[in-house]
Structure formats: C-alpha cells, structure tokens
Amino acid sequence: MDADWGIGETGASGPRPNAYGDPVGHSWVAAAGPSGIVTANVLTGAEDRVANMAAFAVRALELVARD
C-alpha cells in the first residue's frame, strides 16, 4: 500500500468500560502522515456510544488537518 496517512483509534465508546478498564468516553487517537506521528488523549465524559464514536473520529481528523 502506498498510503499518505494512517489513522488509529482505541478506547471505550460505551455503554460500558472496555476490558482494559478504560472508562466510557475515553480514547486514544493517532495519525501518521508526511510530518510524523501525532496522538491525542480524548475524554468526552459522555456515556452515549454514538456521540463518543463521533467525537473520537472528529478528533482523529483534527490531527490530520493540523499537518
């Protein structure tokens, strides 16, 4: 694959914490691109699974937009 970007996300979107003990609404996101790798710790404080997934995706795309 000849990709310019890679994006990753892991965490607990809800409705329960994940098996690793992350609270609902907690995620780490990362983006790797031409300028290097950037990461962000996301903690929404929300219990809404769909809202958390959207917030995690938005934050990952914000990392890409910074480059």
Indicate the pTM of the whole model.
Answer: 0.89
**Rounded CA gap, 52 and 12, in Å?**
8
Per-residue pLDDT of 8-61, as tens digits, reads 999 999 999 999 999 999 999 999 999 999 999 999 999 999 999 999 999 999
Residue 5: the pLDDT is 95
Confidence of residue 1 (pLDDT cuts 50, 70, 90): confident
pLDDT of residue 67: 76
Domains and CATH numbers, the chain: 6-65 (3.90.950.20)
Q: Judge whether 37 and 48 are in contact, CB under 8 Å.
A: no
- pLDDT value, residue 66: 86
Give the Cα separation of 11 and 5 in Å (integer): 21
